[in-house]
């Protein structure tokens, strides 16, 4: 693998992980918001 290949791996993994983490935060927040809404 040449230099660009390693670079794309590094950036790809991190941006993918940021996306997953952000999605998890939003999903957890939405879930708690729903529970609170149910309680009124």
**What would the two tokens of residue 24 be?**
């998890």
Binding mask 11-40 for another protein (x = CB under 8 A): x-xx--xx--xx--xx-xxx-xx-xx-xx-
How many residues lie near another protein (CB under 8 A)?
26
Integer Cα distance of 11 and 18 in angstroms:
11
Integer Cα distance of 12 and 1 in angstroms:
15
Please report, as ranges, the residues that interact with another protein according to CB under 8 A.
1-4, 6-7, 9-11, 13-14, 17-18, 21-22, 25-26, 28-30, 32-33, 35-36, 38-39
């Amino acid at each position: 693998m040449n230099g660009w290949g390693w670079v794309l791996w590094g950036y790809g993994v991190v941006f993918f992980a940021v996306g997953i983490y952000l999605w998890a935060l939003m999903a957890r927040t939405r879930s708690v918001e729903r529970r609170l809404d149910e309680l009124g």
